[in-house]
Amino acid sequence: MPDLVPALTPGTALYCALVLFVAYLIRGIAGFGSGLVAVPLLSLVAPVTAVVPLVVSLDYIGSASQGMKNVDRIAWREQAALVPFMLVGIASGLVLLWSLPAAALARALGIFVIAFAIYQWLPLPPLRGSRLYATAFGVLGGLVGTVFGTGGPFYVMYLNLRALEKSAFRATFATNFLIDGGVRLAAYASMGLFRVALLVHLALALPIAAAGLYVGGRIHTGLPPRAFVHLIGALLLASGIGLLLRG
């Protein structure tokens, strides 16, 4: 049975507010990373089953409010290849989310975050692949996104393999997130994860996330993109180790 949303002490509430602001500040600067940062750091003080629906909701509201741009640039064939396997991954993730204990979910999240942080640091050359890769990346994106709220990197990897032009990449990824996130939110609701306490926390978190996005959108760090990715990787590594030690 999923964990109840815990009551927050003043110190924990301040920590969560700071994490949310930083996570959406990073998203405002880089255009990604809110879930990757917020989920592991919030999971240090709350169950994964409470954190993931909250962060997915915030991400979905933010993406939906921005709307889908360049609809005519969406690569529908790539989207059609991903969706069936994405649904398989979501269904598998729901089983794990419902059945695994909170401590096991936290440890698994820690391992995933550490692995992704290391991946971020690797000097990988550009790769190309066929549409057959949608099988693996669709399942992984749906599964990891459902359990940990951070499935986006797998969709990015697949679209990079397909060598989409920049505007087509952005339009296709945004559409995929709206489909994927909508299905996941409906599934979380059907599982009873959106209890009153979580909805209250969501209402309190919205202005904090909005403030982070607003400030981040107006900051120019001066860091090269690769250096910024490495900085996020270091933050992910620290949070992943923290989750393993907590577990």
Neighbours of 147 (CB within 10 A): 26
* Position 228 in a domain: yes
The Cα–Cα gap between 245 and 114 comes to 13
For residue 3, being part of any structural domain is answered with no
**Is 143 part of a structural domain of the chain?**
yes
Looking at the domain assignment, is residue 69 inside a domain?
Answer: yes
Residue 2 falls inside a structural domain: no
Our count of domains for the chain comes to 1
Between 32 and 80, residue with greater pLDDT: 80
User: How far, in Å, CA of 186 to CA of 91, rounded?
Assistant: 12
**pLDDT bracket for residue 192 (50, 70, 90):** confident
Q: Note whether residue 1 is domain-resident.
A: no
Per the domain annotation, does 4 fall within a domain? no
Instruction: Measure the CA dihedral 213/37/32/215, to 10°.
Output: 20
Region 72-96 average pLDDT: 92
Structure tokens at 208: 């904090």
Helix or strand holding residue 221 (H, E): none
Mapped onto helix, strand or coil, the DSSP state of residue 137 is helix
Region 186-193: what's the mean pLDDT?
90
Q: Is the residue at 5 inside a domain?
A: no
Residue 65 has pLDDT above 50, yes or no: yes
pLDDT digits (tens, 9 = 90+) for 109-153: 889 989 888 887 887 777 788 889 999 999 999 999 999 888 888
pLDDT reported for residue 66: 57
CB contact set of 137 (below 8 Å; sequence gap of 6+):
82, 85, 154, 155, 157, 158, 161
Q: What is the span of the domain harbouring residue 132?
A: 10-246
pTM value is: 0.83
Whether residue 207 is predicted with pLDDT greater than 80 in this model: the reply is: yes
Q: How far apart are CA 141 and CA 155, in angstroms?
A: 6
- The pLDDT of residue 5: 56
